[in-house]
Structure 1
Amino acid sequence: MRARDLAYETSSALLANRARTLLTVLGIVIGIAAVIAMTALIDGVKAQLVGQLGLNMSRTVNITCWPPGNQPLDQDDIEEIGTALASDYEFVTGFTYTSAQASSSTASLEYLNITACEPEYFQAMGYEAARGRLFDAEESAEGDMVVVLGGSTVKNLFGSPDADCVGQTVRIGSSQYTVVGVVNEGFTYDNDTCYMPAETAVTRLIGQGGYSSWQILGFAREGSDMYAVADATEAYLHDRYGIPWPEEDQTSFSSDEGYVYVQTAQALIDQLDATTATFRMLALAVAGISLLVGGIGIMNMMLTNVTERIREIGLRKALGARRGDITGQFLLESVTICIVGGVIGIGVGYGGAWALAAVAGSALGSMMGASGAISPVISASTVAVATGICVGIGVVFGWYPARRAAKMDPVESLRYQ
């Protein structure tokens, strides 16, 4: 049978029982929509978390090193580490924390968290300027009196999170600083934060209040094996500062003996991947039940079609149709139902994912902030899997009715009333 004739016979058979076909298609639509909606929503949540946590900067390595004898690292040590590990990192930068009172022309803060850092810190953390700009290397080296505001600081100092604060001055401690930008940190934190060039903070603030230790961020070279980079970094720090390696079951460390922690963002991404994969499997299992019900509906419809068309089958066989022709015709009807249902289900599922995302985004708004709206992610692989599922269901649940029709005796079929 020619493909054109086969397609015509298939469409005619399905349109002859529109209500039955529509109800059967609906079962597939519900199943595929459930698969698409759940996977798109889970992937959207993952993408949101990756973006807001800065995990898209998978080349970032967080390094904590406390040498023996309670001797914290300083800026010279960080520069030495960056030179020694230059083959693994594009740069190694340090940062530390302090705090001070702050005020503007309209409001004041008793406690402002200050991150003293270099410009490379923003790149390593994946932070970008939401307004204005970030301070540059020249301003950092010169110890200029500039700051970048983050968190809820703009709202609490200037009265509104959208206030035009760029170019205005704020008093931090006993000095005036110019606001050059507002940083997009991803998550909206409740605490008030700002970022200041390290040289400025050391000169103006840290000398007054002291600090515990410099934290270190490394930005690995593109294409690096992050786990190998982390292992090399840890080995170097243990050897350079004479820090003993922990025992197998050791979970706590003494500051007298020293300790080293090296963590990559890639490790966090892998952990997030494993978690979302688990949720995806659970969602697919639930949606699979709907697809199973839809598949049973297809088999029931096709068995009914075979029974209603016994005389037609006998006539086709009497005119020379082979078993393969009969099998192909009924299988194509089954697969067509599934593909039509799948196409509709993909659209319905994506729309449903947006509706679920709006609900989830509203529920998680306090945690994810104004920029934390969830956008469902539907990938080409998801569509390909959904299409494959549709074809598979059509073949699996249509095979038995198709073979039953193909094995009918033409003489007995023509006698059927």
Structure 2
Amino acid sequence: MNAGQSFRLALKALTTSKMRSLLTMLGIIIGVASVIVILALGNGVQGMIDEQVDKLGINMMQTYVWGRGDGSTMDLDPSDMYDLVEANPDVLTGVSPYVSFQATLRHRDQKFDQTQLYGVSEVMFNSDTQSTMDGGQKLTQGRFLSYLDVARRQNVCVIGAYLAQEAFGGGEQALGQTLSINGTSYTVIGVLDRLNTTTEMAAGGSDDQIYIPYENALQIMGARYVTLYVFTSTSGETAAQAKAIIDGMLYDHFQGDEDAYYTTTMEEQANLINAMMGVVMGVLVAIAAISLLVGGIGIMNIMLVSVTERTREIGIRKSLGAKRRDIRSQFVIEAGTTSAIGGLLGIALGCLLAMGVGSILGAMLTSQMGGGATFSATPTVGAVAVSFGVSVGIGVLFGYLPANKAAKLNPIDALRYD
């Protein structure tokens, strides 16, 4: 008997008892569908993270400073960081102190208590991607802070969509208008687009923010101490060299205290997130694989029952000259066919679930990350191929024991079986 005949017999055996066959495939269907959904969602999240990194700028670095200097000097001053950039123009292109502060924000009789206020430099706006480097937001009106704004400590600001709407009725009306920060008037020169596009904007939310020159922010705070600096390197390839230069200067400033600062590049952050995603994905896929294992056990169990039910058939075939390998291959092919059909049904179910869950999860993630990032949970050809191959392999593996048992039956005993 050739493989084609064995395959046709396997299909006939499956169609004879449709409900039993479906229940046998159920573990395989669930397992394959789960693996496809998990891999599709994981790839979607990873692609969204990579897209967001590209928007923020692969040449961006963040330096956190917690130290207090060598004990005889003031805290590290922003001018020290600017001097470092000027001394290394071949690898560093700019720096922006990132100051988060509290102040009284008003527009006429309106008071905004929950607005997030930031002091930054012009470097915080990526000219290549035309978006901010902390959230990936683009401008809908006006412009961002310029070098002259920062150098001259101009009383100008860039506001979020919530402030533009609540204080001025929209972005177009906001340009040229003024806001009061601790009693000082600041002119609105730019309005950012909405970061959260799926829910209503709210006070204190991601769209309730304002940027002013960092020197103005330090003056409002009454301090010169900055805990976060954003650097840009000449390219993504020089980011590691730029990080070494920054860390070297801070190491000397803090006299070898490596706990006083920390610098990370966007590439390192992306690699860390992807590594964490890989671990989570591996765990979830391993859990989903348990369903495949259960499905394999179900196939083995039903094939053992099938061998018992068809003992006389096996005896007749052996008495007519069928060899052990013929009997073995017939039952192995039958088990493989069962798992293959279950795998195909699981692939169809997994693709449908991936698209459905992906659309819901994508809307949630897009609203949280903003910056125009997109989420796509389309199953890859590789994931589908691996899932199908594993499902067939499990069927063949777990079907071999019953097939071997059938092949070893004594034809005389099999013909006597009632």
Partner of 2:84: 81
- Does 2:20 align with 1:16? no
Deviating more after overlay: 371-380 vs 31-40 = 371-380
Give the secondary structure class of the aligned counterpart of 2:74.
coil
Partner of 1:109: 112
1:62, CA displacement in angstroms?
0.8
1:158, CA displacement in angstroms?
4.4
Partner of 1:346: 347
The 5 A counterparts of 1:45-64 are 57=57, 59-64=59-64
Partner of 1:31: 31
Going from structure 1 to structure 2, the CA distance change for 1:121 and 1:238 (only over 3 Å counts) comes to farther
Partner of 1:234: 247
Aligned mates of 1:323, 1:106 — CA distance in 2? 93
1:221, CA displacement in angstroms?
5.7
Partner of 2:281: 280
What count of residue pairs does the alignment treat as equivalent? 396
Which residue among 224, 246, 252 is the counterpart of 1:212? Answer: 224
- Residue 72 of structure 1 aligns with an amino acid whose one-letter code is L
Partner of 1:180: 190
Give the secondary structure class of the aligned counterpart of 2:76.
coil
Going from structure 1 to structure 2, the CA distance change for 1:177 and 1:136 (only over 3 Å counts) comes to closer
1:116, CA displacement in angstroms?
2.4
The 5 A counterparts of 1:11-410 are 11-41=11-41, 57=57, 59-65=59-65, 67-68=69-70, 69-75=73-79, 77-89=80-92, 91-97=93-99, 101-103=104-106, 107-109=110-112, 113-122=117-126, 124-125=133-134, 127-129=136-138, 131-132=140-141, 135=144, 147-150=157-160, 152-158=162-168, 163-165=170-172, 168-173=175-180, 174-175=184-185, 177-183=187-193, 190=205, 192-196=208-212, 198=213, 202=215, 210-213=222-225, 215-220=228-233, 224=237, 230-239=243-252, 242-246=253-257, 259-318=260-319, 321-352=322-353, 376=377, 378-410=379-411
- What's the TM-score, normalizing by structure 1? 0.73
Aligned mates of 1:167, 1:152 — CA distance in 2? 11
Going from structure 1 to structure 2, the CA distance change for 1:297 and 1:64 (only over 3 Å counts) comes to closer
Which sections of structure 1, spanning at least 5 residues, go unmatched?
A: 252-258
1:244, CA displacement in angstroms?
0.8
Deviations 1:196-231 (A, max 9, x none): 4x4xx64x7755664534542233565648666534
1:6, CA displacement in angstroms?
3.8
Give the secondary structure class of the aligned counterpart of 1:180.
strand
Going from structure 1 to structure 2, the CA distance change for 1:362 and 1:79 (only over 3 Å counts) comes to closer
Aligned partners of 1:81 and 1:92 also within 8 Å: no
Deviations 1:349-369 (A, max 9, x none): 454456667887999999779
- Residue 172 of structure 1 aligns with an amino acid whose one-letter code is L
Aligned Cα root-mean-square deviation (Å)? 4.5
1:334, CA displacement in angstroms?
1.6
Aligned partners of 1:88 and 1:221 also within 8 Å: yes
Deviating more after overlay: 342-351 vs 363-372 = 363-372
Going from structure 1 to structure 2, the CA distance change for 1:262 and 1:3 (only over 3 Å counts) comes to same
Deviating more after overlay: 163-172 vs 140-149 = 140-149
Deviations 1:107-153 (A, max 9, x none): 44356613322145446435131734753768868978764323743
Deviations 1:148-204 (A, max 9, x none): 323743454346xxx4447633313344524533145579853732234x4xx64x7
Aligned partners of 1:338 and 1:393 also within 8 Å: yes
Deviating more after overlay: 268-277 vs 330-339 = 268-277
- What's the TM-score, normalizing by structure 2? 0.73
Deviating more after overlay: 136-145 vs 306-315 = 136-145
- Residue 216 of structure 1 aligns with an amino acid whose one-letter code is Y
1:329, CA displacement in angstroms?
2.7
Deviating more after overlay: 99-108 vs 388-397 = 99-108
Going from structure 1 to structure 2, the CA distance change for 1:119 and 1:262 (only over 3 Å counts) comes to closer
Aligned partners of 2:157 and 2:186 also within 8 Å: no
Aligned mates of 1:106, 1:375 — CA distance in 2? 45
Deviations 1:293-318 (A, max 9, x none): 22221111112222333344345445
- Residue 177 of structure 2 aligns with an amino acid whose one-letter code is V
Aligned partners of 1:27 and 1:291 also within 8 Å: yes
Name the % identity.
28
